[in-house]
Structure 1
């Protein structure tokens, strides 16, 4: 399944001032002042254990010492010991109500806990006390962004940069706001400037690579990620983003892509593999506890496919736990929460703490729904908190990890014997596809293709521009040239950026396609409006090698036949899997020439377009793709067999 990576915004680890100066220590008892001064020197030198012992010694003498409380709270926050940190900050704020650093630091802790309104109040108080407090403006921008106030966030980042024009974290986070708004050129400028100002920072490389990828500039993105990783070898997120970018390339051998995934696991996951076993009851027939881990339990593509399974699980045989690892929340979140037997957020929890919670919940089978995409928790899975671990849906390739035992797929996406050696996980092929699709809203399909009114065929794709590579443009342009009156409609969030649109116009122009034959649309926010846009397309064109998934299902649901090219690896065969399981094998091409030929045949046969469109909704409603109970039963049988295999292993 396609999923654009969204890294954690650069600089999210809020900048906190150095430990408060001992300027008021002389007002306290001499021994406390001496202990505080010694602890402060330890803190500045990075000797955290000695600093903590010193601050606690001061607080043993004077429990309300504001600066000892403040500085101890900073240490506790870094260890995620939030409850004691809050107590310390409250003491500090009560005793030093006019110290802007205390309020700012307290605000940072409240941000960690998702207590955004309280954090905002603390940070605004810090700015009131010290209007030129650069870090407080920066942190306020982070709070406002989390509250959905992007304009306010940009204003705060702008003020931070006015005070410190070289502040790379503010540039990165400002760029990330622009990126979320599809103002990609502005985002690129921010990241390039941040990279120049702070070449030692990882985030500018990461965010720059992601933005280039979103513009369809895959080779440039890969180069940026590689340069960043040469400097920041421990940066697991950037390394994951490199893996994701490689899926868009037609040139990289599958074996090489597999080795890079294994390298990620060797570097970031396998050092955390535990040596002990699991105490779970080995009864092969008992009720199993299934845990799903995802950052996308919301109005997101992953939920369109995960929700039916979560809803349809046989509760006499399976108990369902959901572990959301993102703060994003909407009506879909509420619906999923009501479906799950247990809803346990792990947002902000360390991998160790989250693993401990999952072990305490006695999860038997833990399912990853993200792979190497945004906000994933693969390093949590690396700690093997459940005896059986599975990856499904979110990522079109192996995780590369030994700790994940199985990957759910099917015999079309991964033909038997063809790809098994390219997966660190054992491939488990579900009998009728590894997807079940739930449309986001109830929208009726238009029974007549638009060619009947327009007098010309409209091809279209609503995939992200990262999938519309120069090779894809070349093939689509050839189709347009061979169907002289045809048009091409492309819609994606990234088309909201002027420079990105101009780039694609130029790419098609280089192949002889004039701009007046292209319609480039930006994102349509409302789900029904988005789906209604499919009414304008006669034939959907699936990109390659990275096929669409949600876009293909949406198009079919709205009556649009989608032409795909079955390629060499899983990522290039998802379209074939979907179409096969909908009985539409005639829309699966074997190579570029066949892809073009099938497109021409469809464009030249309006009667076939009418037949396909008028019968498509009924076809999908009868297909395995929307057989939610049947799909979930097949998945449960696979889970039960995985469990049987584990119970037969020696302790």
Structure 2
């Protein structure tokens, strides 16, 4: 449901060596520890640095290098202490200040990090790594233009600085210059052929451009270099859903492999819980999400939290990203407890959840950006479930349930493609709360325009060549019709041109296609639906928020019923609204239904006029009813755990 994103790694691990001099016992110990550190023998290096510090507590280089090891191990508080000791001992060393700055930025203390780096750059104006880190800190503070300038300065000083090329690609990607971003990531990989951050962001950018097969190949190549990297592996799993060339059996196997490689080794051998075993007591539900903010997932999670029966459940929210806005403020009022996990390692976060006595821990992100599935791998709660944010299994052997419905996941059909047991809710697994009141145009735009306009506002990565071929077939069968495709990546000129040529290759003139980039603000985005007569759902990766928004604005949606969850969400949503006649069984049927609807002005007018009332009468906007269904599912999960012996 959302794009995966990972910033290039900041260089916070620059080791330092003591000045050359007499070979004192302390100097010898330090040299031995440094050699072990550089050879990757971290336990030996840590012991050596501590031996040095036992004799000389203020040793700046031992403090700095031990801080690096502690940061890598997630022991952040002690790492900060060591870095501060090093800065105090050698305040003139810009590298030590830079290391501390990176750690402070990681902890959300960007202003202090920026001050440290300004001093470091004043001490050494040609410090490329310092400018590189400064660029990341500035971006974290929202000063993107200054951050990009600092990154450019790092590249001026060191044109062969691979990490800075990757970061520049990240800045370009954020600005919508996707083709230039791809070139920057490729430059970084030429300079450092196994650079994980460049591989990751190259794959993500290719996916955004709709070059899904290239993205998959990029992630597979990266995983060959870094088989133990869970983020790259998650990105590969996510990308597999966008192409029809990977059957659900293969996608399932890939998820199982992720769980076995990254999650199973973290499961405690003998987990015991102290939760009250009463079957009917109030349950403590923990929601783990990076999206307690203005994000598409919030349109579905916020109404649930608002409608929860607080006599049945206690709501604990665990935000796992630092994004906060007016929507976050609303979420905070809906939580009985608000416990940020940002800045914590996975083991520390799992310990916090276990101490909180959560009964059912619910993942809202899956393998999407900023997710924390490795917290769930440590089994911090008796019952664990996944819902909403990801269209497939987690692959975790310790994730007990996945919440869905009987259309998105038909009984005895998709069960075998999940490591979880499927908890199917009656009448749909989603309820939608739109960002704005429904104010659809009262009549189809074709009445004034004299032609039918189809459209899709989905992520461009879902608009694969197979989808373009089917949409082109529809346009050719409806004379004079037009198509609007709106997605942020279409702000990139080469990407837009590639799609125009793709439609031309199927015999559709480019003047019949409007390729639009993202529209701000939200009100203008919603008003763009006034231009559409019929929305076309992509496949195999259906829309979710976009489908709900189209319906909310009076636009009927034609969808293609696929084999597994990612390709059946559209059918689930339309069925909730009584629009089963817009669900196609195969691509030819999809074309036929879209063409028939385009040729029926009375039907289009009727759907437009009655859509708001239809949605308000549907389970899609019955928030209280949806909350009762979720609470019943939670109760059944809890009783199932008790029945199985409740360790």
Question: Is the pair's TM-score, using the shorter chain for normalization, greater than 0.5?
Answer: yes
Match of 1:258 in 2: 252
Does the CA-based 8 Å contact 1:19-1:44 persist in structure 2?
Answer: no
Query: Partner residue of 1:448?
Result: 443
Deviation string 1:433-471 (CA, Å, 9 cap, x unpaired) is 000101123352221111111111110000011100111
CA distance in 2, matches of 1:342, 1:60: 43
Q: Equivalent residues in 2 for 1:10-409 (5 A)?
A: 10-12=8-10, 14-22=11-19, 36-37=30-31, 39-279=33-273, 280-409=275-404
Alignment of 1:436-515 (within 5 A): 436-442=431-437, 444-515=439-510
Contact 1:420/1:426 (8 A) holds in 2: yes
Q: Does 1:427 align with 2:425?
A: no
8 Å CA contact 1:39–1:52 kept in 2: the answer is yes
Deviations 1:65-94 (A, max 9, x none): 433433333333233333333333333333
Shift of 1:191: 1.2
Give yes or no for the alignment of 1:566 onto 2:564. no
Structure 1 position 51, deviation (Å) = 4.2
CA distance in structure 2 between the aligned counterparts of 1:228 and 1:53, rounded to whole angstroms: 33
Over residues 230-259 of structure 1, what are the superposed CA-to-partner deviations in whole Å (9 max), with x where a residue is unaligned? Answer: 222112111111111111111222212211
- 2-side partners of 1:250 and 1:212: how far apart? 17
Aligned pair 1:624/2:619, yes or no? yes
- The offset of 1:350, in angstroms, is 1.4
**Residues matched between the structures, number:** 645
Deviation at 1:474, TM superposition (A): 0.6
Structure 2: distance between partners of 1:126 and 1:265: 42
Is residue 19–residue 43 contact of structure 1 (8 Å, CA) maintained in 2? no
C-alpha distance in 2 between matches for 1:194 and 1:430: 47
- Classify 1:101/1:405 alpha carbon distance in 2 versus 1 (closer, same or farther; 3 Å): same
**SS of the residue aligned with 1:580?**
helix
Deviations 1:209-268 (A, max 9, x none): 221111111222222222222222112111111111111111222212211111111111
Structure 1 residues 515 and 290: alpha-carbon distance in aligned structure 2, compared to 1, 3 A threshold: same
Name the TM-score, length of structure 1 as normaliser.
0.95
Paired with 2:564 and 2:55, the residues of 1 have a C-alpha distance of 66
SS in 2 for 1:568: coil
For the residues of structure 2 that align with 1:258 and 1:48, how far apart are their CA atoms?
36
1:103-151 deviation line (CA, Å, top 9, x unaligned): 1111011012110111011111111111111111111111112122222
Task: Answer yes or no: is the 8 Å Cα contact 2:534–2:555 preserved in 1.
Answer: yes
Conserved? CA contact 1:494–1:522, under 8 Å: yes
Q: What secondary structure does 2:297 align onto?
A: helix
Q: Which secondary structure state, in structure 1, belongs to the residue aligned with residue 424 of structure 2? A: strand
- Higher mean C-alpha deviation, range 624-633 or range 97-106: 97-106
* Change in CA separation of 1:468 and 1:37 when aligned onto 2, cut-off 3 Å: closer
Distance in 2 between residues matched to 1:61 and 1:260, nearest whole Å: 51
Query: Structure 2: how far apart are the matches of 1:10 and 1:132?
Result: 21
Decide whether the 8 Å contact of 2:481 with 2:512 is kept in 1: yes
How many angstroms apart in 2 are the aligned matches of 1:278 and 1:331?
Answer: 39
RMSD of Structure 2 on Structure 1 (CA): 1.9
Task: Tell me if the contact between 1:443 and 1:528 (Cα under 8 Å) persists in the aligned partners.
Answer: no
**Separation in structure 2 between the aligned mates of residue 212 and residue 547 of structure 1, nearest angstrom:** 19
Match of 2:604 in 1: 609
CA contact (8 A) 1:20 1:101 kept: no
Change (3 A) 1:411 1:37: closer
**Contact 2:194-2:222 at 8 Å conserved across structures:** no
Q: Secondary structure at the match of 2:86?
A: helix
Cα distance between partner residues in 2 of 1:48 and 1:600:
65
Kept in 2: contact 1:352–1:380 (CA 8 A): yes
Aligned to 2:633: 638
Counterpart CA distance in 2 for 1:318 and 1:87 is 41
Q: Distance in 1 between matches of 2:247 and 2:66?
A: 52
Judging changes above 3 Å, is the alpha-carbon distance between structure 1 residues 71 and 229 closer, same or farther for their aligned structure 2 residues?
Answer: closer
Q: Which residues of structure 2 form unaligned runs of 5+?
A: none
CA displacement 1:574-621 (0-9 Å, x = unmatched): 000000001111111111111111111111122211111111111111
The equivalent position to 2:412 in structure 1, one of 396, 411, 417, is 417
Distance 2:37 2:85 in 1: 20
Higher deviation after alignment, 52-61 or 313-322:
52-61
Give the whole-Å Cα distance in 1 for the aligned partners of 2:573 and 2:335.
27
| Counterpart-to-counterpart distance in 2, 1:235 and 1:85 | 23
